[in-house]
Every structure is written in C-alpha cells, then in structure tokens.
Chain A
Amino acid sequence: MAGQTIMSAITVPTADPARRSLPARIARFARRNPTMLLGGAILLFFVSVAIFAPLLSGDPMLKAPTRRLLPPSAQFWFGTDHLGQDVFARTVHGARVSLIVGLSVATISILIGLLIGLMAGYYRWVDAVVMRLMDGLMAIPAILLAIALVALNQGSIGVVVAAIAIPELPRVVRLVRSIVLSVRELPFVEAAVSCGARTPRILLLHLMPSTIAPLIVQATYICASAILVEASLSFLGAGVPPEIPSWGNMIASSRLYLARAPWTIFCPAIALALVVLAVNLLGDGLRDKLDPRLSRRM
C-alpha cells in the first residue's frame, strides 16, 4: 500500500490507468489491441447467436420438399438446401456444436495436460515414461487418430470431443513440463521445500501459477484447432451424427450442389472461417499481452 502511494505520487496522474474512467480505459485498450478487440467482438457475436439460436431462427430440421434449393431471399436469408431445410436456421444452430466442441476440447485437454505436465516436470521417473508416451502420441497425425477413435465408437459429441482432445494432449504436457522444469530450480521453490511444504502444495501453489498465462494462450489455439478438426471430421463423415446440424455436416451433405446452390456450402463455410479467425486473433492478442517473450516475432 505504502509503495503504491509513493508510486502514484511520482508518476504523472494521466499515465496511471487506475485513475482513468472505465470508458476511457476501454477505449484505450481498444486502440492498443485492435485485432484482439475484433476477435473478441466476432466471437461474442457468435456466442450470442449460439445461445439464442432457437429465438433467432426457425426449426433447423424441418424438411419441405416443395422449397428445395431456393436462393437467399427475405424469407430464407441463406436460402434452402436440397432437403428444403432452412440454411440460416442450420447455420445458426451449427454455431452451438462448434463452440461447445471448441470449449470442451480446450478445457479438457488443458486440465488433463496440466496435471500430467506438472507430474512429469516434478518427478523424474514419471517424466521418462510420460514423455516417451507423448512422443508416440505426437507421431500419429491428429485427424487420423480422431477418425480411428470415432470410427471405432458410436459417433456422439462426447466421443468427438475426446477424439479431438487426446491428440492435443502432448502439446499441453510439453508446455507445462518445460515451464515446471525451469521454475523448479528457482530459490522460492527451494525455500518452500525447505519449509517442509508437501509436494501437492508445491505443485499447485508454487509451480502451477507460472503455467497459467501460457496455458490461457494455448487454450485459445487449441479451441480454434478443435473447431477446425470437428468441422473436418464431420465433413469426412467421422464427426457428430449427421442429423445434428453442424457446419461440417452441412457442407458434406450439400457438396453435390456446389454449382446449383453455392449458398448451401458457403454460408456455413464463412461462419466457420470467421469463428476460427476470431479465436485465433484473440489468441494472438492474449499472447502479446500475457507472453511477451513469444510475441516479438511469430
């Protein structure tokens, strides 16, 4: 407290962000991070679309043979597909699948990867075994591993999430492990050990905090890649069940109608690319903020 008072006494008042009004601070943040703001805004838009999907549009499953392959109009904003289904309703509902899969995969792979990575970084014998396993897992191309997992089990969103999360694990484990390896040699960890702190306490209270910022950045990239992989799996017929309107499923079922009804493919495709772009932009912005070492170049 005392230190803060002295600091604000010597700094110029206008340069102290805590003294600015909230709108001024937001405006300043937006000016300095235009890409992050753009990414956040697009993502927020799609999240609200996903949440309010039933209010925004009609029934995504309603088939009407009399209105097949209609071009976009005032009644059907994105036209209709070869079964007479409303492409707008399906695109809006598809946002749910993409966002749910993206968020669940990011959460699950970060939590499990964090746990394994902490152990691997701290215990040498765990390290030897786990890292070899991760090397093996990394050698299998992610999409193929996911295809095998989905093809073997009955397709459902849960299976798809697991199938996408497992290939993402090695990246998280490696990241956490490398941070733990460098932090565990620092004096404050030694101090905690000599104070008699138990291992779980050291892992969770002293080592884990250093991993949080890089993990948040990693989580956004995993989320973006998970949304892409889910759409790819659905497109290949190894994703969420075909009756669920997901963007990958929509593109797969409309692909024979590319020349006659391009809107059936490009509406979900543009939505998909926008969401992934938004999450990537958000990730780049977070990386610049939280992990400045990395942000210089890439």
Chain B
Amino acid sequence: MKNRNFQMMLLLTLAVLVALASCKKDDDEQTETPEPSEYTIVDNGNGTGTTTWKAGKTYILEGMVFVNDGQVLTIEPGCVIKGKPGQGENASALIVARGGMIMAEGTAQNPIIFTAEADNLQGSVALKDRGLWGGLIILGKARLNSTPGETAIEGIPTSEPRGLYGGNDDNDNSGVLKYVSIRHGGTDIGEGNEINGLTLGAVGSGTEIEYIEVLANKDDGVEFFGGKPNLKHVIVAYSGDDSFDYDEGYRGFGQFWCAIQDDAAGDRVGEHDGGTDPETAQPYATPHIFNATYIGRGAGAGSRVITFRDNAGGHYANSIFVNQEKGIDIEMTPDAENSFNRFKTGDLTLQNNIFFGVADGTASGLFKVSFITGSSANPDSATAVQTFSGYFATAGNTVEDPGVTAANPVPSNAGGTMASYPDPWFANVAYKGAFEPGAANWAEGWTLTFASK
C-alpha cells in the first residue's frame, strides 16, 4: 500500500514540477522544457477546473476525476484519455458533476478516445477485453422518478455530493459529446456495481450527444438514469451486460442506435426499467427510440432483445432486431400499474419494426408477457398474452430478412411502412434501422468496431 502512496506522491511532485516549469516559461524564455505528452490527473476535491485537454496529448485518470459544478472541461479532437486500472475506491472514471460541463467535440477524422491505460491503441489490449478501467459519467439536473428526486450514482457513496444527480430542469445542459469512443471500461466499483461505458444520470435535453461508440464495456454500454437526454448515432459493441439500459424514468429521444453483441457474452440488448422505489413513481419512463438496429448473440445463447419491466414504458419504431434467442417481453405484476399497463395506456409502443432470426419468429414468441409472482391476481392476466402478441401485427411489425449481420449492419432491404416521427429533433428518414440501405456505414473510420474504411 505504501508503494501506491509513494507513486502518487511521485506523480504529484512531477505534476507540480511540470506546472512550475510551465510557469517559468512565461518569465524566462531561455529554459524551455519540452511539454510532456502525458498528464496524470488526480482529483483532490477541486475537480479538473475549467481547462482544456489538448489534441495529441494523453490524459491519464487516476481514480475518480470530477468536473465540478461551475467548471467546464474542454477536450480537443484527437485527445486520448486513459483510465488507470483499479476497482472500488481505486476505480478511474471521468465524472461530470451537476452544474459541470464537458465540451468534447471530436471529429470523424480525429475522434476523442477514452480507453484503458494499458491500451497503446496498437492492439496491446484485445478487442473485446473488458473492465480495464471505469467509464464516462455525466450527471445533470433533470427529473427522476425516484424519491427524493436525487440519487447517488452507483459506486459513489452519498457522502460525496458530486456523485449526486437529479433535479427539476429537464432542459439542463451538460455540454457536448461528439465523436467520442469509450473502450474497455466497466471496472467493478463495489458490491455488484460496475461502471457503464457512458452513464447519463438525470442529463437534460440541452446536452448534445451524437456519434458515440462504447466498445467492450464490462457492464452496460449506455445507461440512462431518468432525465431527458437525446442521443443520435450511437454504437454499442460487445458489452458484457446490456447494451442500452434505462431506469428511474428516462424520457429522451434516440435515433440511429446500433448494438452489436458479442456471441459469447452479454445479457439483454435493451433492459428498460420504469422506477425503483416505488416502481410506479412518476414521471414514467417513456423515451422514443427510432431507427435502432440491434444485433444479438444468436440462437442458443439465451439472451433477449428487450425487456420492459418495473412499470417501464417506451416507444420503439422503425427499428431492426436480428439474431437473438428471445424476443421482447413486458412485465405484468399483480398491481394496477406495471409495464403491461403502460402498453395498454399507450406509454409503451412497438411500431413498424423488422424482426429476423429472433425467437421462433412467431408473434407469440416475439412479444411475450412475463408474469411475476402473484400476477394471476391481476384482472388482465387472462388475456394479456393474446392482447400483446396480437399487437405485433396490428402495429405493423414484420418478420423479414433485412440482410443485416454483425460484420455489416448496413441492411440490404429495410423499407416498408414507416411510423411517423414524433418530433422535429428526429431526422425524417424513410428507412428502418440505424443505417441507410446501401449507403456508407456512418460508424466506419472513427470507431474501433468498424475501424477500417
């Protein structure tokens, strides 16, 4: 243990020396020390400060590093951020606290990369290695449906106020994430909790999130805790757990989401929960997700496309779901409010989606009701199975081959009747799934999943 302390001291001393050296530069032009290409970032409670992480440099996160309330962290395109290994209190992560902002605007040519310290970006880490560091966590002031409307993010004790999220401002703005690739994260932060690739806790709709890759994260790819962030062009590949997860009343928009599961790992593609305590709290989870392409693990692997439970609602339309053992299930409980009831009241819709290679390909195999203990007491239980499977066809869902594979998610055929877009935020496209049939793959080049063009 002493070793570690010593190392930290050494690093701090180095950082101070570097700082001193750079101060000196202004006074004394002659003693010019070359700027280091690597910086180690340690948070002593003061956060990163309002600062810019430069293009071409590497920033190494040691432990949890916060962007505090009032601070703005700007990350230039091409900047590489690496997390040190370690679990629990030693887990490394970048956390944008409530009131803090991250301006991480990469480009397709120069994406911003978050990865493990051991990753030299030249293959020193295997493509699907998971859990080598923490992840990126953004916390905001939008609404949650949990009591008391404020929660501590998993793995950070409530005594750290910068780990709290939730508030009343659904339009809250935590900054910009664009062309950001998050790789090999998901280390254990305590008692069955791991860090998701990208965690969005009560993030507001003022935040811009577009062109995001989460690759080989040990826990979920992207997890939403309440809030109203809108995300376009997201690719989650080879997650150890779920690809997209939401809880505590997420209500944002999503378009062009692609999930590719590892055939030897991963749970659900979409794990969608409503509330926690009580599960029936408001606002209900009712995000709109259009043009998703979810590619599963295949038959025999036991995984599911999407589960809606704990009174979750949500709207999936114009999407493609392929290659999975189990389809979509919605939960029914003995109580009046549950995901099945969200479906009945129209808070949960699944319209004009294409399925292929999922379950047994029948409506009753693809759209299932999961009954939890005592559900038979619910007056709807007798007809729920028929009602929900009958909905498959009435809502324009089809079983047909869109010609999509994990290696090439661009469909050969993805037309048909389209559900209309609920908001001008959505691109009004006339195809299903995340990629335009026959067009170029938008993930190519800047992601590791589709590295080569």
Q: Do A and B come from the same complex?
A: no
Chain B interface (Cβ < 8 Å from any Cβ of A): none
